[in-house]
Amino acid sequence: MIIKTLSNKNNLQVLYEDNHIIIVNKRAGDIVQGDKTGDKPLSDVVKEYIKDKYNKPGNVYLGVVHRLDRPTTGIVVFSKTSKALPRLNKLFADKKAKKTYWAVVKNKPKKPEDTLIHWLKKNPKNNKSYAHLKDVTDSKKAILHYKQLKKLDNYFLLEVNLETGRHHQIRCQLSTIGCPIKGDLKYGFSRSNKDASIHLHARQIQFTHPVSKENLNIIASLPKDPIWDACLN
């Protein structure tokens, strides 16, 4: 059960906004796009925010560029115009957006930094991905780079850069090397967080604005809790 406050039009954490793009800091429990749960998605919240802020009549256009897992926090990019959306989609597809994540894990990785390569296969029945060391039927190649940033009292802070964007990629690959993310029961952590979050945060994104050509470098503040606080101290 999600206890933590979800995003609404009044508390939305907007990190960047112009005529074409809006970037927000997603809370744990926010679902980016509507699904079978029927819960209100973050995309609808952003539309309400835009409608309210600019007193827009009628429907508000908003394009979903990418997603974050529900228990994950951090940066989500939306398009405010039909001009920007295909350009943003291409930018992400061509891997021209550099996404950096922070993950708090239970165990110290064997190497302080490494590149992980697996083939991930998703099981839709339990909405979980499984990692293989070689290509298997219906699997997709997954590559990430990590480095240990800090040793906490009982955990380790890793910085993760994705080369591919697969289903539950960071969660699955880190679990496979014996480093499940704090709170992530699905991928092997011993207990859940009270608010059903996991300690995985989309911390930073860097890309060239598809319309203005400005270089954007956006950083999302961490959720307020003692473990994340310790990562900054």
Residues annotated as catalytic are 69
For residue 181, give Cα distances in angstroms to 90, 170, 171, 206: 30, 9, 7, 24
137-148 burial by CB neighbour count: b if 16+ within 10 A, else e? eebbebebebeb
* Other C-beta atoms lying within 10 Å of the C-beta of residue 88: 25
Strands 98-105 and 156-162: antiparallel
Residue with tokens 């115009």: 81
What single DSSP character describes residue 80?
S
Say which amino acid occupies 39: D
Q: Could you tell me if 155 and 104 are in contact, meaning their C-beta atoms sit under 8 angstroms apart?
A: yes
Q: Which long-range contacts link 120-126 to residues 24+ away (Cβ below 8 Å)?
A: 120/166, 120/167, 120/168, 120/169, 120/172, 120/173, 122/167, 122/168
